Amino acid sequence: MKAQVLLPKVFNFPFTYNSKTKGKIGNLVEVPFGSKKEIGVIWKNNYFEPKNIKIKDISKKTEYSLNKKLVDFIEWFSSYNMVPIGLVLKMVIGNIDKFIRIKDNSIVVKKTEIKNFKLNKEQLSALKFLEKTNNKFDVSVLQGTTGSGKTLVYFERIKKIIEKNNQALVLLPEIFLTNDFKSRFENFFGFEPAIWHSKITPKQRRLIWKGVIKNEIKILVGARSALLLPFKKLGIIIVDEEHDTSYKQDEGVIYNARDMAISRANFEGIPVHLVTSVPSIETYNNIQNKKYRHIKIFKRYDNYPLPKAKIINLNLNKKKNKFIATETIDLVKKYLDRGDQALFFINRRGFAPYLICKKCGFKHICSNCSLYLTFHKIKDKAICHHCSFEKKIKTKCRSKGNCEFIMYGPGVEKIFEEVKVIFPDKKINIFSSDYLKTKHETEDLFKNINDKTIDILVGTQMISKGFNFPKLNCIVVIDADFSGRGYDLRTTEKNIQLYHQLSGRAGRFSSESLIIYQTLVPSDVTLNELIKNKSEELLKNELLLREKNKLPPFKRLIAIIISSKDQNLSLRGAREIKIKLNQIKDIEVLGPVDSPLLKIKKNFRSRLLIKFDNQIFMQKKITKVLNGLKISQKIKLRVDVDPINFA
């Protein structure tokens, strides 16, 4: 008896093996492959079987199996995202060959004390609305003002799901969110959640994988990759902060975890809830078209209002070589004097993004990428934020002696130094990924913030993501810039969401809070509409603009990035690929053009952009053309379905 076995490798097809007993689709089996034994999955028998090749036997079956719904989802995921099916399987089963050889005890769930939470009328109404799905496939959007208790609503929803012996998956956009989230979870459910992300230990990974496939773990909280875990009885998926672009995986297997979560819920026949304060443009469009159900909650905890907003014109209020206006300092001081915390926000890591020698004009540019190096004072080095290349900034000057660098533009470290000079008696900390490398560092910072041993935070974008700081009542946006860099389709949308999220970090437990927007363009329409809390109007206008320009969500885009060590080869390869793609009907192929980020990791990049009607599934035709290409081995192709930028 023959069986098709899919292996977790870069193959787009399964391999044929002999099986002594009838295997069930989804069974995990051990098979010989080359000189090794590998774990694979018995797959559907609708693939080509080789002739005149000696077929090997399946070595043994394991106790584990993927359900048919997941098998179907893996095939669809591979087809939609144009990636080899074997690589998708690898995301599902990982290093299972190592897992199954180790016998573990069952997961011990640590019990904690449950706090009593009572939903207000608005939250109860939202819960009832979400429950109307009757636990069949349905996409519902839970939209709420920051601080309105959206998390509490979906916790109640999950509680009822797991009481029926089903499992729940909660997706978060960033692993940094899990620490703050974990304590709220324990207070509500009375036990620790299972947490899945790239930084967990191999042992944790093994225990969670086994707990999920055996239905021993009822609730899993995780980053993107948690979506591909082999749940035995998945009952609901929650996508928190659904608008966050961190859900887009842009290395390895490229996919959007939010969109794939909706698809997995469809295959599983279960509800999926998208949770947000300001929805993504795609979600907003689907709400408008009645494709997604939608409920809003407005009231914050104890009816505390959102912060008041003030625009400060940097053209009038900024001292030379300083980035914090005099008027800003006076306003912040009032909040600090009454015992509140303040946050200075700038979305740039490091100390200074540009270093230019005032004598010879030399600029520090990455030797691997076409990017300026950012100076990081913490390391006393200039660093590339794409390839992590580092170098000391001491450079021999073309004029005389060593270069004397002027540092242009502020990063979070520079603002930190300026704040220290302005408020020398205050305890100040940086909230940035460069300063929170370990779990211990992160936990210590959260504790110090909540214990009020920190007066001022200087933070990057990660601080806007779902954190709850009770005494934070004043926020300063150092540079409220809405211009974007020209190659990001979502600049306006992301700014609306970012600044709305940011303002929601203030005034969680205060009736008087403030967000200050420092800007060189005080008349900017988007900023002025944003401070009136008219984010929905802004999204509506953005949608009209997208429709007029035939952009997503009204058209579908697939980007093809062609890279090579030789720039001419990259561009020539892109032209040849375009000729082949133009043979497909009903698509428009734009380009090739040089990528805005021309060189990354010593590879020159050219781009093609495929545009077509979003009701048509074109991926199979495009994949067939790409698989049939005969191009130089010196060229690499990267396919990005539904790109979020054109970098």
- pLDDT number for residue 50: 67
Residue with tokens 């100390």: 351
Q: d(Cα 571, Cα 560) in Å, to the nearest integer? A: 12
User: What is the chain's mean pLDDT, rounded?
Assistant: 89
- pLDDT number for residue 251: 86
Q: d(Cα 472, Cα 450) in Å, to the nearest integer? A: 10
Q: 43 φ, ψ to 5°? A: -115, 180
Span 28-50, mean pLDDT? 87
Q: 313 with 522: CB under 8 angstroms?
A: yes
**Residue 189 predicted with pLDDT over 80:** yes
Return the DSSP state at 241: T
Return the half-sphere exposure (C-beta side, CA atoms, 13 A cut-off) of residue 201. Answer: 4
Report, in this order, helix, strand and coil percent for the chain, each rounded to 5. Answer: 30, 25, 40
- pLDDT number for residue 108: 63
**Residue 32 predicted with pLDDT over 80:** yes
**Which one, of 561, 557, 578, lies nearest residue 570 by Cα?**
561
- pLDDT number for residue 174: 80
Q: 220 with 204: CB under 8 angstroms?
A: no
Sequence letter at residue 25: I
- pLDDT number for residue 434: 74
Domains in the chain with CATH codes: 2-99 (3.40.1440.60), 121-299 (3.40.50.300), 304-348+410-546 (3.40.50.300), 555-641 (3.30.70.600)
- pLDDT number for residue 485: 52
Residue 300 pLDDT level (bands cut at 50, 70, 90): confident
Q: 329-343, pLDDT tens digit by residue?
A: 999 999 999 999 999
Q: 375-408, pLDDT tens digit by residue?
A: 998 888 999 988 889 999 888 898 888 998 888 8
- pLDDT number for residue 481: 75
Tokens linked to 119: 């939903």
Q: 53-72, pLDDT tens digit by residue?
A: 788 889 889 889 999 999 99
Q: d(Cα 124, Cα 149) in Å, to the nearest integer? A: 11
Continuous segment of H or E residues that includes residue 458: strand 456-459
Span 360-386, mean pLDDT? 89
Q: What is the DSSP string of 20-55?
A: SSPPPTTEEEEEEETTEEEEEEE--S-SPPPSSSPP
The beta-carbon contacts of 590-597 under 8 Å, at least 24 apart in sequence, are: 592/562, 595/561, 595/646, 595/647, 596/485, 596/486, 596/487, 596/646, 596/647, 597/369, 597/370, 597/371, 597/386, 597/647
**Which one, of 428, 365, 362, 439, lies nearest residue 395 by Cα?**
362
**Residue 287 predicted with pLDDT over 70:** yes
Q: d(Cα 93, Cα 115) in Å, to the nearest integer? A: 37
**Residue 505 predicted with pLDDT over 80:** no
Higher pLDDT, residue 420 or 19: 420
**Residue 27 predicted with pLDDT over 70:** yes
Percent of the chain with pLDDT over 70: 94
Q: d(Cα 229, Cα 210) in Å, to the nearest integer? A: 10
- pLDDT number for residue 585: 94
Q: 201-211, pLDDT tens digit by residue?
A: 888 898 999 99
- pLDDT number for residue 621: 95
Span 446-450, mean pLDDT? 80
Burial of 558 (0-12, 13-18, 19+ CB in 10 A): buried
SS3 for 627? helix
Percent of the chain with pLDDT over 90: 56
CA angle 379/384/387 to nearest 5° reads 115
Residue 466 pLDDT level (bands cut at 50, 70, 90): low
- pLDDT number for residue 243: 93
**Residue 554 predicted with pLDDT over 80:** yes
Q: 413 with 430: CB under 8 angstroms?
A: yes
Residue 410 pLDDT level (bands cut at 50, 70, 90): confident
Crossing angle of helices 177-189 and 439-450, in 10° steps, is 70
Residue 275 pLDDT level (bands cut at 50, 70, 90): very high
